[in-house]
Amino acid sequence: MFNKQILIFLSIFSFSLQDNNCFIYFERCEGEGKEDKPYQGKIDNCIAGSTDGDGNEMCYQCKNGYYVSMEGTSCIKVEKQIEKCLSYSSNGDELFCSYCDKGYITSADQKTCKESKNCEYLTTNAKEEEICGECDTGYALTYDEKSCKQFENCEKLAQGNEKCSLCYEYFHPNSEGKCERTLCQKYENNVCTECYEGYYLDDDKKCQKIAIENCLKLDSSKTKCTSCLGGIPPDANGKCSLPLIKGCSEYDDNGKCKECKNQGYEYEITKDGTCKFIECKNGKKYEYCNICKVGYYRDEDENDNYICIGYDGSRDTSTSSDSSSRNKVESALLIFILALLI
């Protein structure tokens, strides 16, 4: 009896490990293809190049202190270097800085390098004034767009620079001018007009979760589904009853796959309307989250792994692209369960 209780507990626990906010995992090959090799041509001071259709060597990146000629066939020494500039380009008459040292960005005219001051790049407005094109994460453009101020989840500040006028996606300014999470995708005069997928707008202009399982959008009567998770078509009753096909990117009206993701490269379509993963030749196969559950959107974390984030801000790091740790835990549990049965 005791062993059976342990078995039931472990089975439930093993299942719960997979019950994260990722709905379906796809497969991909890691490390496929040829590795980039250092330039070994004959163009002096060239560090990256290739050969054109006629067999002529072409350079597209020279070492520091040189720039590529207009013809692309040589590297020309910079006579008067721009301070903090690491890479140059030329139009034949003038010299420009295309890339600056760490902590610096090119000016709008690319003639100098300036301290970045939390700005990604510089550009000009209609008055030909130099402004910041985009701020670093955690910073927002000031009202005049000439500098960046620390402000979470805000893209641009309102006049006075104390409140946000434009928040990033999935956020909206509240009454205090701070950016807060919201289930609403579109606003008009600060009133919600459209909710994110998986939610519908009620009579009080509030976003409510759709009760139909795996449904993203409802019809005007709010009783039938018009769009299901993963692109599968709703059935005659407006339900999302057809199963998702792993690797499928487009379905026909009968729920069979008619186009696989990266068809011919990652997946190939079968006669019965499913997708077969093409085995890796030179790389290692791994899983990554392709479709999140209703109420979640797919994003990337600081390690470039796919994760599912709820519109309310909740995160599930178990949906990362490398699922090896998840598989190891599940395998260990399976071995332990089999040991109990023996």
Identify any residues that bridge with 50 across adjacent strands, giving them in sequence order: 58
| Terminal-residue alpha carbon distance, the chain | 15
Which residues lie below 8 Å from residue 259, measured CB to CB, with a gap of 6+?
Answer: 248, 249, 250, 269
What is residue 317's predicted lDDT score, i.e. its pLDDT?
52
303, burial (CB in 10 Å: exposed 0-12, middle 13-18, buried 19+): exposed
Low-confidence spans in the chain with pLDDT less than 70: 1-19, 31-37, 316-342
Q: Which domain holds residue 5?
A: 1-26+280-342
Does residue 66 lie in a domain region? Answer: no
The span from the CA of 180 to the CA of 312, in Å, is 9
Q: Which two tokens stand for residue 127?
A: 């008055």
Does residue 240 lie in a domain region? Answer: no
pTM of the model: 0.71
Q: Which two tokens stand for residue 256?
A: 């069979």
49, 41 contact by CB (below 8 A): yes
- Whose structure tokens read 């590795």? 35
Sign, Cα dihedral of 227, 233, 236, 237: negative
Sign, Cα dihedral of 187, 295, 268, 328: positive
3-class state of residue 318 by DSSP: helix
Does residue 145 lie in a domain region? Answer: no
What is residue 337's predicted lDDT score, i.e. its pLDDT?
44
The span from the CA of 49 to the CA of 60, in Å, is 5
What is residue 53's predicted lDDT score, i.e. its pLDDT?
77
131, 119 contact by CB (below 8 A): no
**Cβ atoms within 10 Å of 50's Cβ, excluding its own:** 12
Q: Which two tokens stand for residue 307?
A: 């994760």
Does residue 340 lie in a domain region? Answer: yes
Domain count, the chain: 1
State the greatest distance between any 2 C-alpha atoms of the chain, in Å, as a whole number: 87
Cα–Cα–Cα angle for 174, 176, 178, rounded to 5 degrees: 60
Does residue 65 lie in a domain region? Answer: no
Does residue 128 lie in a domain region? Answer: no
Does residue 2 lie in a domain region? Answer: yes
Does residue 337 lie in a domain region? Answer: yes
Q: Which two tokens stand for residue 184?
A: 């609403």
What is residue 54's predicted lDDT score, i.e. its pLDDT?
82
What is residue 7's predicted lDDT score, i.e. its pLDDT?
36
